[in-house]
A and B are shown apart, each in its own frame.
Chain A
Amino acid sequence: MSTEANAWEESGPASSWISRCAGTMSFLLTCWKVNLAAAMEYRMSFFLMAGMMFINNFMWLFFWSLFFGRFQVVNGWELNDVMMLWAVTAGGFGWSNMLFGNFTRIAPIVSSGQLDVYLSQPKPVLLHVLASRMSLTAVGDFVFGLVVYALAGNHSLTGLLLFLLGLLISGTLFIGVITLAGCLAFFIGNADGLAQQMFNSFVALSSYPSDIFKGMAKTLLFTLIPAGMISYIPIGLLRGIEYDFAWKAAAATLVFGMAAMLAFKLGLKRYASGNAITLRG
């Protein structure tokens, strides 16, 4: 104990913060490595699930190609924009679900008392929960996003950087909004159905061109249910940067991320452990 105190005095708070960050990063890397190893244990199932998700997304693009075959431009959107919308949405959803795959399962984890196992370990609880699972289908989503970018995206350096920024915004927004919905379980008990519903709706809304919505619906999509911040990326970021949209999207990502962390922290204070004995697989 005294050694630790001396080290603190000698190195100062900045150095301690850096070493904590490095520790957390190394912990995250270990989580991801273990998750990948677990997925690879059932290799056939892994490739099958990822492949099916790829086909699923491809079928949606097939629908859109038929739709735009009939109507070339819909409220300023063309087939290429919708392809990039799917690249950003599927790609963002893919990386977030690969690295932080439990963000879609916060509500059942809380309501079934499975948080106990995370609370007993000396790591940031929310981060630990999120990184403890890797979605197999998400790999298909992520690869799909990259393939569609390769087919329809802007391959210049600026285009690539903007696409990566789009992926970052969409993935982080997915994590923030859906974690926030999952945190309802702390406050209203069994919120599995409601959280699942919010998840489905958010994902569905973010995969349609934002400009088909008007009035109140459009306002909601850019504020309370920020699916519009994802679905407008092909126009507001990839076609050409609209700075007004870009900073609002970045701010929304930050606000929803912080809100999710705050809701989880407040929720933990209300969390009452059950007597379920759980182990991490």
Chain B
Amino acid sequence: MRTPRRLFGYRNASLAAGGSKAGAVARITIRQQMAYKTDFIMRASFLLMILYVFVQLWSAAYDGDHARIINGYTLKQIIWYLVFTEAITMGVPALCGIIENEVKSGDIAVRLIRPLSYVGYHYAAYLAEAVFRFFVHLAVGSAIAWLCVGPPTFGMGWAGLFSLTFGAITVAFVLNMIVALCAFWVEETRGMEFVLHKLQFTVGGMLLPLDLMPEPLRRICVWLPFQAMLYFPARTAVNIDAAPIAEQFAIQAVWILLLGALVMWMYKRGVSRLHVNGG
């Protein structure tokens, strides 16, 4: 007969084993990322170009006036806000393509026989890649923003950015995973991924902080998960005094729980109807 103590012992050992496997997946993913230096340079140069365009656009909108405040944002805050949203967006790996290819090619069979949760495996790999890429893009973006609008004197805003970015990347994971798991039912998920990205760009606040949007649209955005991915960390970083930090953490946690439950439900339903030939 198993005692509760032994039961907890098994549970702890199982969690530790799962954690160590996830850690190994994360390490391998980072090594893989380090191998594609050219790819990184290309992405970084594109980010530089895009941010340069944004600096020009917003400088024109503000008439080059660094002291002007529009809906709580100075030109400097807007540019740094865009650096943070771009760093998160470009940090997020293309999960849908990976899972769609695994399902189509049958490679998913290899993943399913491994002693590691399928969703957990992808989360570990995703998190490692996203965090790594986020910091690279943040460094590149910071260079151009620093040159154009001055240093990021945001004090505790940085702590807000880093702490909310973890939740933001996780929200992005569950959103992308929901679309990616549709590959169990439909052949092509790229279209849905496309729409998801566009929602992040607009109602997620990637290109324009929600504070600058019309009031009716802002009211709708509040009820959507996209703000938790980009708007929360970037707004908190540039304007920590105006950001309800505890509320933002709570909203992120609620979305992660809700969407995470949906991911697990979809995975269980999807994998039970999967027939793999080859792989």
Where the two chains meet, the residues of A that have a C-beta atom closer than 8 Å to any C-beta of B are 45, 48-49, 51-52, 55-56, 59, 62-63, 66-67, 69-71, 74-75, 193-194, 196-197, 200-201, 204-205, 208-209, 211-214, 217
Contact partner, B60, options A48, A63, A75, A197, Cβ 8 Å: A75
B1 touches A (CB below 8 Å): no
Residues of A within 8 A of B202 (CB): 59, 62-63, 66
Q: Which A residues are CB-close (under 8 A) to B38?
A: 193
Name 20 interchain pairs, CB-CB below 8 A, sorted by A.
Answer: A48-B188, A55-B198, A62-B202, A63-B201, A66-B208, A66-B213, A69-B214, A70-B70, A74-B57, A74-B60, A75-B60, A193-B38, A193-B39, A197-B42, A201-B46, A205-B53, A208-B53, A212-B59, A213-B56, A217-B56
Annotate B70-88 by CB proximity to A: 1 below 8 A, 0 otherwise.
1100000000000000000
Q: Indicate whether A214 sits within 8 Å of B56 (C-beta atoms), given known contacts A66-B208, A66-B213.
A: yes
Main secondary structure of the interface of A (DSSP, over half): helix
In contact, A200 and B46 (Cβ under 8 angstroms)? yes
In addition to A52-B194, A62-B202, A67-B208, 10 A-B residue pairs with Cβ atoms within 8 Å of each other are A48-B188, A48-B191, A56-B198, A59-B201, A59-B202, A69-B214, A70-B70, A70-B71, A193-B39, A212-B53
Min CB gap B151→A, angstroms: 23
User: How far, in angstroms, from A54 to B45 measured CA to CA in the complex?
Assistant: 27
User: Are B53 and A55 closer than 8 Å at their CB atoms?
Assistant: no
Q: How far is the CA of A200 from the CA of B49 in the complex (A)?
A: 10
Q: How far is the CB of B192 from chain A (nearest CB, A)?
A: 9
Residues from chain A with a CB closer than 8 A to the CB of B217 are 66
A63 to B39, CA, bound (A): 29
Chain A residues near B69 (CB-CB < 8 A):
none
Chain B positions 36 through 47: 1 when the CB is less than 8 Å from some CB of chain A, otherwise 0: 001100100110
Tell whether, in the assembled complex, residue B195 and residue A63 are in contact, meaning their CB atoms are under 8 Å apart: no
Q: Is B50 an interface residue (CB 8 A)?
A: yes
Minimum CB–CB distance from B156 to chain A (whole Å) comes to 28
* Interface residues of B, dominant DSSP: helix
B16 within 8 A of A: no
Residues of A within 8 A of B271 (CB): none
Q: How far, in angstroms, from A48 to B56 measured CA to CA in the complex?
A: 35
A63-B202, A197-B45 known; A55 and B208 CB under 8 Å? Answer: no
Least CB distance from B35 to A in Å reads 14
Contacts of A208 in B (CB 8 A): 53, 56-57
For the complex, give the distance between the alpha carbons of A196 and B60 in Å: 29
**B188's contact among A45, A51, A62, by CB below 8 Å, is which?**
A45
Which residues on A sit within 8 Å (CB–CB) of B195?
52, 55
Question: How far apart are B85's CB and chain A's nearest CB, in angstroms?
Answer: 13
The 5 closest A-B pairs by CB, nearest first: A59-B198, A212-B60, A212-B56, A71-B61, A52-B191
